[in-house]
């Protein structure tokens, strides 16, 4: 299936997944223009069951991707989630956020949250005013409201919990956009996710001058006859993308690239830092293979745990791509077959009980604090906290002959590669692909075997099943001939040569090098995301950074591999290997650099993992 934009994927999962028949026959639709405290009115569609033996709760989704179809006679094809939600009399409400589709006002991307004592509006006040209106005006509701959403609507669900309305009893931010500089969607540790940002914003980022059922301008076409790799490389320097393609029509693109440090622009938009005053129950959901907002799910959960003590706060992490848990079954993803319908399991055993308990006051157990899927053993586990207790920190050191071992290096050495921005390391095996696949998060890494700009380190075969959980820290020592550079670290599960398992597509998994986790660090931010520092050419320098958590069993006979590389193009923009504002660089400023990964007794490069005992 072709890769989808974040917006298109969300529409698919919300309107096409688990869609029951007969919405028109079973629900009455009401449309409201709900006034906010500043006078702006937001379009809201509410679907109330025709037959309702008792008052039911309201499930609200606030979205920038359309609350349509519009008009009293136009009905959605279905609602996502467990069919039991429909059977149990839930009322479904959908709202266009301000400035999108049929709502009034100005749209602001990840609108900054109000500071304590500050007057005005934000997404939390809009949610508060909406909940207040719904419980007072929607017929036969039981006075309890829940909010949910995936991706951008996950951000709105999370923001809705801030200084919660008393009637808001439960929120479920799912793959929530949480921080667009540190780890979600468009930037990771300052490095720009070029293909995602460009492709998304050339549609979603165009202005909408007035309320419209179409949402404004359609995405303008881009010619990519030779594939995305060729297109982005030929466009050249980052500064070329606006004049050559966007032509000033996408203002947020210019904000995205001009705010190239973790400044107040980004800090004001960081949902986890501002998630305070949450009084309702929270169920945060994410995917271990979510290419967009895995960081958001993990870190919003952790922030609520720290900043809103005493509330019910739980986390679910499944073996899913972005939004996969809202679709049917969830048994397979790419080459992986999990042997069970993971999405259905979640909908019935976690999501449904959560809403039933907190919105319908049913005598059911709330989900466990952490419900997480082991992406190596293919099974669900429950813990009382995340990360779980009983972890043993273990370092795996880079060694000679591309080895990876728990013993420190006994000899000095280094492994060198050239970071060449004119021939950047691809992130896909097929550079002619025009789409950003979602499967790249688990792709077989053997396509990199002959690249001169990649170094790897592999452990001996594990003699027992070994389960890793929680945090991952890459701790590199390097030299470079440049003054900046990106460091991308990948964790790979190497299947044995005699593996008998078949992929979901029927191919052998023997020798498969499955990507399990990766992250990038833009080198100049190695010490502080707000205060970049140049490298001194030739000087050994420590580059230490965290990757997203994982929960993965390396099975007996499998090996663990760590890959270090300078580029994942065109997914991530090219680092010119010079300390400068990349958005101002010219084509000639992109130069090659020789990089050495050190592995000596004084500079032991390693990766720190946690083994679950």
The answer for residues whose C-beta is within 8 angstroms of residue 347's C-beta and 6 or more apart is 18, 81, 82, 325
Task: Report the length, in residues, of the chain.
Answer: 613
pLDDT of residue 13: 37
Per-residue pLDDT band at 223 (split at 50, 70, 90): confident
- Structural domain 391-612, CATH architecture: Sandwich (2.60)
Per-residue pLDDT band at 18 (split at 50, 70, 90): very low
CATH 3.40.50.1820 domain range(s) in the chain: 6-179+269-383
Q: pLDDT digit string (tens) for 338-386? A: 999 999 999 999 999 999 999 999 999 999 999 999 999 999 999 999 9
Q: pLDDT digit string (tens) for 285-306? A: 999 999 999 999 999 999 999 9
Question: What percent of the chain is modeled with pLDDT above 70?
Answer: 97
For residue 524, give the DSSP letter. G
Assess whether pLDDT exceeds 60 at residue 8. no
Residue tagged 């992109």 (tokens):
590
Q: Under a CB-based contact definition with an 8 Å cutoff, are residues 165 and 133 in contact?
A: no
pLDDT of residue 21: 54
**How many other CB atoms sit within 10 Å of the CB of residue 544?**
15
Strands 466-480 and 606-612: antiparallel
Per-residue pLDDT band at 53 (split at 50, 70, 90): confident
The stretch 414-435 carries a mean pLDDT of: 96
Helices (H) then strands (E): counts for the chain: 14, 25
Q: Which of 158, 183, 152 is nearest to 173 (CA)?
A: 158
Q: What is the CA radius of gyration of the chain?
A: 24
pLDDT of residue 72: 95
Distance, CA of 526 to CA of 533 (rounded, Å): 8
Assess whether pLDDT exceeds 80 at residue 4. no
pLDDT of residue 217: 76
Give phi and psi for 417, each to the nearest 5.
-150, 165
Residue 226: CA count within 13 A, CB half-sphere:
7
Task: Specify which residues 188 forms β-bridges with.
Answer: 191
Q: Which of 148, 422, 431 is nearest to 284 (CA)?
A: 148
Assess whether pLDDT exceeds 90 at residue 22. no
Residue tagged 């082991």 (tokens):
374
Assess whether pLDDT exceeds 70 at residue 270. yes
Q: What is the pLDDT of the chain when averaged over all its residues?
A: 95
The stretch 136-159 carries a mean pLDDT of: 98
CATH 2.60.120.260 domain range(s) in the chain: 391-612
Strands 370-374 and 313-318: parallel
Take residue 567 and report the two structure tokens written for it.
């580029």
CATH 3.40.50.1820 fits 6-179+269-383, yes or no: yes
Through-space distance between the first and last CA atoms of the chain, rounded to whole angstroms: 39
Element (H, E) at 131: helix 123-137
pLDDT of residue 193: 98
């Amino acid at each position: 299936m072709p890769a989808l934009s974040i917006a298109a994927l969300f529409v698919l999962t919300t309107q096409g997944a688990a869609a029951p028949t007969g919405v028109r026959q079973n629900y009455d639709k009401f449309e409201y223009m709900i006034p906010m405290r500043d006078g702006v009115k937001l379009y809201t569609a509410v679907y109330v069951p025709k037959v309702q033996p008792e008052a039911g709760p309201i499930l609200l989704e606030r979205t920038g991707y359309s609350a349509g179809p519009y008009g009293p006679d136009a009905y959605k094809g279905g609602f996502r989630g467990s069919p039991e939600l429909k059977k149990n009399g839930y009322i479904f409400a959908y709202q266009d956020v301000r400035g999108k589709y049929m709502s009034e006002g100005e749209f602001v991307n990840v609108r900054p949250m109000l500071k304590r004592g500050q007057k005005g509006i934000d997404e939390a006040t809009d949610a508060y005013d909406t909940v207040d209106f719904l419980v007072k005006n929607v017929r036969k509701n039981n006075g309890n409201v829940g909010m949910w959403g995936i991706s951008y609507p996950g951000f709105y669900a999370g923001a809705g919990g801030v200084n919660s309305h008393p009637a808001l009893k439960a929120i479920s931010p799912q793959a929530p956009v949480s921080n667009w500089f540190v780890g979600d969607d468009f930037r990771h540790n300052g490095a720009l996710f070029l293909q995602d940002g460009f492709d998304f914003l050339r549609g979603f980022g165009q202005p909408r001058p007035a309320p419209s059922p179409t949402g404004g301008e359609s995405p303008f076409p881009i010619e990519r006859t030779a594939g995305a790799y060729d297109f982005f490389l030929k466009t050249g320097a980052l500064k070329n993308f606006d004049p050559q393609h966007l032509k000033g029509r996408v203002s947020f693109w210019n904000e995205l690239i001009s705010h190239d440090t973790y400044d107040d622009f980004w800090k004001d938009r960081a949902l986890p830092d501002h998630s305070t005053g949450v009084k309702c129950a929270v169920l945060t959901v994410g995917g271990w293979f979510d290419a967009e907002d895995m960081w958001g799910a993990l870190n919003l959960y952790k922030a609520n745990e720290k900043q809103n003590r005493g509330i019910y706060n739980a986390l679910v992490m499944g073996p899913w791509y972005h939004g996969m848990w809202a679709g049917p079954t969830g048994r397979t993803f790419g080459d992986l077959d999990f042997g069970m319908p993971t999405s259905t399991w979640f909908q019935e055993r976690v999501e449904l009980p959560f809403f039933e308990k907190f919105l319908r006051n049913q005598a059911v157990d709330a989900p466990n604090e952490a419900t997480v899927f082991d992406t190596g053993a293919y099974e669900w586990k429950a813990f009382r906290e995340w990360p779980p207790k009983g972890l043993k920190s273990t370092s795996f050191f880079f060694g000679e002959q591309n080895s990876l071992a728990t013993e420190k290096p006994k000899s000095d050495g280094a492994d060198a590669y050239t970071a060449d921005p004119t021939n950047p390391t691809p992130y896909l095996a097929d550079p002619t692909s025009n789409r950003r696949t979602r499967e790249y998060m688990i792709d077989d890494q053997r396509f990199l075997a002959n690249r001169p700009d990649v170094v790897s380190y592999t452990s001996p075969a594990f003699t027992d099943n070994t389960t890793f959980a929680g945090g991952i820290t890459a701790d590199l020592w390097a030299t470079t001939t440049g003054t900046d550079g990106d460091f991308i670290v990948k964790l790979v599960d190497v299947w044995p040569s005699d593996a008998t398992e078949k992929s979901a597509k029927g191919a052998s998994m023997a020798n498969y090098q499955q990507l399990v986790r990766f992250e990038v660090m833009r080198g100049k931010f190695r010490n502080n995301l707000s205060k970049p520092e140049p490298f001194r050419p030739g000087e050994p320098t420590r580059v230490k950074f965290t990757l997203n958590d994982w929960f993965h069993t390396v099975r007996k006979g499998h090996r663990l591999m760590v890959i270090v590389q300078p580029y994942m193009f065109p997914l991530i923009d090219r680092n010119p290997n010079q300390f400068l504002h990349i958005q101002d660089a010219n084509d000639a400023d992109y130069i090659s650099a020789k990089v050495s990964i050190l592995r000596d007794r004084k500079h032991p490069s390693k990766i720190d993992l946690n083994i679950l005992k």
